[in-house]
């Protein structure tokens, strides 16, 4: 507070409100004390006469190192800002590509630096209204292209969805308002319908002696917007506008619940995904299915264990939220190993623009997984296709 004395945000609020909010966001995620402390201190080196040495003496080398990492990312971000046009097209300057390359390497050195940066961006997005319209669009474009995908790849879904929704609100305010209005308009009817289905499912699971928690699933405006555009369908035909989530004790229970759901209601062809057998790259696991409910409307059902739910909600941050004395966190180690191996491999690329293009393909693009008739798993980027003269296992 002393370091930021006299400083204000664009909204007129005392600047200390921002680092406080960032620290609360990190605390809500369950991060460790050093990360929360660094969240509070993340702007003091850049915005005051407080030195890194002073931070190290007062708070220790770990906190100082994290603040130093975030400060470097802040400088990278400032190099980038202004390169996003209103249409979202970015000139491929060597300086900008080099800046993004540095951000990727920061991910492997200490992932907590990137988590603090994401928390910082999330609060900035929540308070974006204080900025001029063009500046808001610039930041929203950058958030949608870089920070939301980063949150996704780190598996922090609650941040990913909010960053996407906030970006859409500033990039396409009319579309955002229309979808939000449609969701609100039908909320009472939709929630009553969901509760009816929840009660039916609860009764069946009790009869089958399956212990599970069943809840309505949050609706994300950007996800609905994306599906409307990608599938070319109206709001009424987006399946996950009405959704429930079932959290069970074991993996076998997940599949038993799936069978019960499909026995109660007719499954919709092409709307089933098994992310338990084939987890996403960010370690996300769940069964997804869409069915035609009793009322003739579609209902999306997600089924997962509590362990999967923890990873789905907190992603890589679950390592700090739930770590127990000395116990190995294999999911965390796998994620870090994946990031580091990816970066080691890409270090051989000397051209910064080529490096960034490759990393964005590896880290930000969704993947498609499919099985051959003989059970071999094929991992492909979205929009991949086989050459006409392809010869192989059919």
Residues serving a catalytic function are 46-47
Spell 308-335 as b/e; 16+ CB within 10 A means b. Answer: bbbbbbbbbbbbbeeeeeeeebebbeeb
Spell 20-45 as b/e; 16+ CB within 10 A means b. Answer: ebbbebbeebbbbebbbbbbbbbbbb
| Among 103, 105, 104, 79, residue whose Cα is nearest residue 93 | 79
| C-alpha of 213 from chain center | 23
Sequence-distant (≥ 6) Cβ neighbours of residue 141 within 8 angstroms: 84, 88, 167, 171
What tokens appear for 235 in the block? Answer: 């709001």
What is the spatial distance between Cα 9 and Cα 15, in angstroms, rounded to a whole number? Answer: 5
Sequence-distant (≥ 6) Cβ neighbours of residue 265 within 8 angstroms: 197, 291, 292, 293, 294, 299
Sequence-distant (≥ 6) Cβ neighbours of residue 227 within 8 angstroms: 233, 238, 239, 240
DSSP 12: S
What is the spatial distance between Cα 38 and Cα 211, in angstroms, rounded to a whole number? Answer: 40
DSSP 315: G
User: What are the beta bridge partners of residue 303?
Assistant: 246, 287
Strand runs (DSSP E) across the chain, as ranges? Answer: 212-216, 243-248, 266-267, 273-274, 287-292, 298-305, 367-371, 377-381
């Amino acid at each position: 507070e002393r370091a930021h004395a006299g400083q204000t945000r664009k909204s007129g609020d005392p600047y200390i409100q921002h680092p406080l909010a960032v620290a609360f966001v990190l605390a809500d995620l369950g991060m460790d004390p050093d990360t929360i402390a660094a969240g509070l201190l993340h702007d003091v080196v850049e915005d005051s006469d407080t030195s890194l040495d002073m931070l190290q003496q007062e708070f220790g080398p770990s906190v100082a190192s994290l603040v130093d990492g975030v400060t470097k990312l802040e400088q990278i971000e400032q190099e980038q800002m202004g390169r996003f046009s209103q249409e979202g097209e970015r000139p491929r300057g060597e300086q900008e590509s080099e800046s993004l390359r540095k951000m990727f390497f920061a991910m492997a050195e200490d992932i907590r630096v990137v988590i603090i940066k994401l928390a910082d961006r999330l609060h900035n997005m929540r308070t974006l209204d204080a900025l001029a319209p063009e500046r808001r669009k610039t930041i929203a474009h950058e958030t949608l292209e870089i920070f939301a995908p980063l949150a996704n790849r780190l598996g922090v879904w609650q941040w990913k969805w909010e960053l996407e929704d906030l970006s859409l609100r500033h990039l396409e305010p009319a579309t955002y308002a229309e979808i939000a209005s449609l969701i609100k308009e039908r909320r009472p009817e939709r929630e009553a319908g969901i509760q009816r289905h929840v009660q039916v499912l609860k009764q069946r699971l009790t009869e089958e002696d399956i212990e599970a928690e069943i809840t309505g699933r949050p609706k994300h405006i950007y996800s609905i917007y994306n599906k409307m555009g990608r599938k070319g369908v109206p709001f009424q035909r987006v399946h996950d506008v009405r959704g429930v989530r079932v959290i069970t004790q074991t993996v076998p229970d997940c599949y038993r619940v799936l069978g019960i759901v499909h026995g109660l209601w007719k499954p919709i062809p092409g709307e089933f995904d098994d992310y338990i057998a084939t987890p996403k790259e960010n370690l996300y696991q769940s069964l997804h299915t869409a069915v035609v409910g009793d009322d003739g409307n579609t209902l999306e059902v997600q089924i997962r264990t509590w362990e999967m739910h923890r990873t789905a909600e907190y992603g890589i941050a679950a390592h700090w939220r739930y770590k127990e004395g000395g116990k190995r966190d294999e999911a965390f180690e796998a994620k870090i190993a994946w990031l580091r191996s990816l970066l080691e491999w890409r270090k051989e690329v000397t051209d910064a623009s080529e490096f960034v293009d490759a990393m964005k393909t590896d880290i930000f693009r969704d993947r498609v997984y499919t099985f051959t008739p003989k059970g071999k798993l094929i991992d492909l980027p979205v929009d991949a296709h086989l050459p006409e003269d392809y010869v192989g296992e059919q």
